[in-house]
Amino acid sequence: MKLFFIGITVITFLYSAQSVTIKKSIINIPQSKNWDDSLMYGPQLPCYYSNAISEYIRRVFQDSKGNLWFGTNTDGLALYNGKNLSYINTNQGLSGSQITGIIEDTEGNMWFSTNNGVTKYDQKNYMIFGEKEGLSHNSVWSIFQDSKGTIWVGTLTGLCRFNGKVFDPLPIPNTEQIWIRSITEDYQGNLWFGTAGKGAFKFDGTTFHRFSKENGLCSNDLTTILVDKKGTVWFGSMDGGLSLYNGKDFTTINSDNGIGNNEVWTIYEDPKGAIWFSSEGFGVYRYINEKLTHFGEKEGFHMRAVQAIFQDREGRLWLGGGNGLYRSNGEVFEPVTKNGPWEDPC
């Protein structure tokens, strides 16, 4: 076990406006079942990270109060409120331990999609929704609130929307047991659904319009969809790279013209309009003004399987995946959790 000290540069893990030359690194303390995890910071305080936050991170989200939520692959949620790091799992009220989506609705409720249903948290109580509450399947892969306030979820076997009490399945015509991996909305109010094997569907409130590889889409096996500030729709796929859709034509970015691997699991737009996306085994890429920049091991980023990219209010970019969690200022990458390359992380 290695012990270093973290200076006052630390706030929300590793950051500050002050210039301090104290060496930064990490100590890991074994976690007991009854131990309440905490993150301490100050001029000469060690920083503690426990096991749950250091495993596979699938989702990162910041709520309206500034709290950071980290969804893990097997250990539920980690919540950082600016002072303490706490954990929420099935013992506290989550429906499942694998977190596939995190949103906050317009009333301030938190919603979590999991491998075993959906959990709603109203800041006091947890409410679980499963097949008995209308879900087409308990394995939920995506969750989204549209501009009208409706909560949508995509499951392993179809699409559902919340009616205020329970979920109602919404069949997509000419499909059976369709796996919905991603949901988003464009500026015209159309909903977009990315599927595993059936391409994408655009829903205008009445009719579903399908987009497939035959129309120019990079792949029918989609993982994520993003609508950027310009209205361009981005599609990430399992085997075809990315597609950009301008409303008329598709443009593809793949291993033939710029990226290392055609498996793309996450796409994110930062406040400056830069598009960040993962490429399995090759770290992440940043796309801005038609320029593509790669960030990998040479840049200190040793995460090969990236599932989550998110920038918080302080401008810190968080990247989660198979090596836990990294933080970046957009150029320099630092590991936050113990599963990273801990020889000399800082």
Q: Note whether 170 and 160 are within 8 A (CB).
A: yes
Q: Is 99 in the same domain as 134?
A: yes
Phi and psi dihedrals of 154, rounded to 5? -110, 130
- Note the pLDDT of residue 44: 28
Decide if 53 is inside a domain: no
Q: Is 161 in the same domain as 215?
A: no
Phi and psi dihedrals of 79, rounded to 5? -120, 125
Q: Is 163 in the same domain as 187?
A: no
Decide if 238 is inside a domain: yes
DSSP state of 297: G
Which residues are paired to 208 by β-bridges? 203
What CATH number did the domain enclosing 133 receive? 2.130.10.10
Q: Is 139 in the same domain as 190?
A: no
- Please identify, among 136, 171, 206, the residue that sits at the C-terminal boundary of a domain: 171
CA 267 from chain center: how many Å?
9
Decide if 4 is inside a domain: no
Decide if 324 is inside a domain: yes
- Note the pLDDT of residue 116: 98
Q: Is 322 in the same domain as 193?
A: yes
| Cα–Cα distance for residue pair 346/344, rounded to 1 Å | 6
Q: Show the tokens assigned to 190.
A: 């159309």
Q: Which of 199-233 are b and which e, b meaning 16 or more Cβ less than 10 Å from the residue's Cβ? A: bbbbbeeeebebbeeeeebbbbbbbbbbbbeeebb
Decide if 31 is inside a domain: no
Q: Is 177 in the same domain as 306?
A: yes
Radius of gyration, alpha carbons of the chain: 20
Q: Which residues contact 107 (CB under 8 A, 6 or more apart)?
A: none
* pLDDT tens, N- to C-terminus, the chain (346 residues): 333 322 222 323 333 333 222 222 232 322 323 223 333 332 222 333 444 465 689 999 999 999 999 999 999 999 998 888 889 999 999 999 999 999 999 999 999 999 999 999 999 999 999 999 999 999 999 999 999 999 999 999 999 999 999 999 999 999 989 999 999 999 999 999 999 999 999 999 999 999 999 999 999 999 999 999 999 999 999 999 999 999 999 999 999 998 999 999 999 999 999 999 999 999 999 999 989 999 998 888 888 899 999 999 999 999 999 888 999 988 889 888 765 432 333 3
Which residues are paired to 334 by β-bridges? 327
Listing from the earlier edge strand, what are the strands of the sheet with 242-245?
Answer: 222-227, 233-237, 242-245, 250-253
At residue 278, what is the residue type? S
| Cα–Cα distance for residue pair 148/201, rounded to 1 Å | 19
- Please identify, among 171, 199, 221, the residue that sits at the C-terminal boundary of a domain: 171
Q: Is 182 in the same domain as 308?
A: yes
Q: Is 278 in the same domain as 338?
A: yes
- Please identify, among 142, 171, 200, the residue that sits at the C-terminal boundary of a domain: 171
Domains of the chain: total: 2
Domain that holds residue 92: 58-171
Decide if 190 is inside a domain: yes
Among residues 330, 290, 332, 291, the alpha carbon closest in space to that of 310 is found at: 330
Q: Is 162 in the same domain as 195?
A: no
Decide if 223 is inside a domain: yes
Q: Is 10 helix (H, G, I), strand (E, B) or coil?
A: coil
- Note the pLDDT of residue 53: 61
- Note the pLDDT of residue 118: 99
Q: Show the tokens assigned to 245.
A: 């859709």
Q: Is 74 in the same domain as 86?
A: yes
Q: Is 76 in the same domain as 197?
A: no
Decide if 204 is inside a domain: yes
Report angle CA 326, 20, 272 to the nearest 5 degrees. 45
- DSSP β-ladder status, 151-155 and 159-162: antiparallel
Q: Is 226 in the same domain as 200?
A: yes
